[in-house]
């Protein structure tokens, strides 16, 4: 499915087209505990969803969480949404490799271009929201998700976060470079990776994240995973 024009424009989609080929390898190097994040997100959803459920995967990328979630629960139907065709191509191959085609639907576009109204029992938004500026775009994406979730449905969210310029942030940022080196990235790649993050990520602190979630219609986030500047939370679509 290809989306209608114009929704949610602030991310440079061409940037993800370029990154798609290297994404899986880069993610393993740059995100401490990348696989653990997906395993824990899956464990949380298995712990709270019924045997049959509809799960919305926003920013599906190369399909990592579609494959992990789809393999974990044979009764779940998944919808993966992403504005990057190159990322979705890779997701499609990963899904086929895992034999999940019949339970996974891919939507080329944005959450806001999916049919309106509730219908999903859970959603994931892993490593996506940090790319949107906090000028209404982060809130709009969270609201689009809230609008499509049943009351009480869980949202699993992971993001880079923190307050640039604070000693805590700067210390974790330097350590991030060291962790990429330790994972085998050469110096020039580390420098490029850190600069790309500074250029493309719109960092907010944990309390701002909680305020955005509340404004969009979600309850208190509970943190379940973290590594340096990365964090992940689960919260619920408020009832009524
Ligand atoms: C860093 S990747 C994360 C992929 C995957 N969720 C994972 O955990 O590996 C971010 C993805 O978000 C997508 N994206 C960017 N802006 C988006 C938006 N407004 N709505 C949905 N997805 C978006 C990008 O195309 C990219 O595939």
What is the 3-state secondary structure of the chain?
CECCCCCCCCCCHHHHHHHHHHHHHHHHHHCCCHHHHHHHHHHHHHHHCCCCEEEEEECCCCCHHHHHHHHHCCCEEEEEEECCHHHHHHHHHHHHHCCCHHHEEEEECCHHHCCCCCCECEEEEECCHHHCCCCCHHHHHHHHHHHHECCCCEEEEEEECCCCCCHHHHHHHHHHHHHHHHCCCCHHHHHHHHHHHHHHCCCCCHHHHHHHHHHHCECCCEEEEEECCEEEEEEEECCC
Instruction: Summarize pLDDT for 22-49 with one digit per residue, the tens.
Output: 888 889 999 999 999 999 999 999 999 9
Residue nearest (by alpha carbon) to ligand 1 atom 21: 59
pLDDT of residue 5: 33
Report CA(213)–ligand 1 centroid distance (Å). Answer: 18
Does ligand 1 have an atom closer than 6 angstroms to the CB of 230? no
**Residue 27 in contact with ligand 1 by CB distance below 6 A:** yes
What proportion of the chain, given as a percentage, has pLDDT over 70? 94
Tell whether pTM > 0.85.
Answer: yes
Per-residue model confidence as pLDDT tens digits over 175-211:
999 999 999 999 999 999 999 999 999 999 999 999 9
What's the gap in Å between 27 CA and the centre of ligand 1? 12
Distance 48 CA to ligand 1 centre (A): 24
């Amino acid at each position: 499915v290809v989306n209608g024009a114009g929704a949610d424009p602030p991310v440079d989609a061409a940037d993800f087209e370029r990154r798609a080929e290297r994404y899986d390898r880069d993610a393993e190097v740059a995100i401490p505990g990348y696989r653990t994040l997906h395993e824990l997100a899956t464990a949380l959803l298995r712990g709270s969803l019924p045997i049959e459920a509809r799960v919305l995967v926003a920013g599906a990328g190369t399909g990592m969480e579609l494959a992990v979630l789809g393999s974990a629960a044979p009764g779940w139907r998944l919808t993966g949404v992403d504005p990057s065709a190159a990322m979705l191509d890779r997701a499609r191959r990963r899904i086929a490799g895992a034999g999940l085609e019949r339970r996974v639907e891919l939507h080329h576009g944005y959450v806001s271009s999916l049919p309106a109204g509730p219908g999903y029992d859970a959603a994931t938004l892993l490593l996506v929201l940090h790319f949107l500026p906090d000028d209404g775009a982060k809130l709009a994406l969270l609201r689009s998700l809230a609008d499509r979730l049943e009351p009480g449905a869980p949202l699993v969210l992971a993001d880079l976060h923190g307050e640039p310029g604070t000693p805590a942030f700067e210390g974790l940022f330097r350590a991030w470079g060291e962790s990429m080196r330790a994972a085998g990235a050469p110096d020039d790649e580390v420098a490029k990776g850190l600069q790309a993050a500074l250029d493309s990520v719109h960092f907010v602190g944990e309390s701002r994240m909680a305020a955005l979630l509340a404004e969009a219609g979600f309850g208190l986030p509970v943190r379940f995973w973290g590594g340096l500047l990365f964090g992940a939370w689960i919260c619920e679509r408020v009832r009524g």
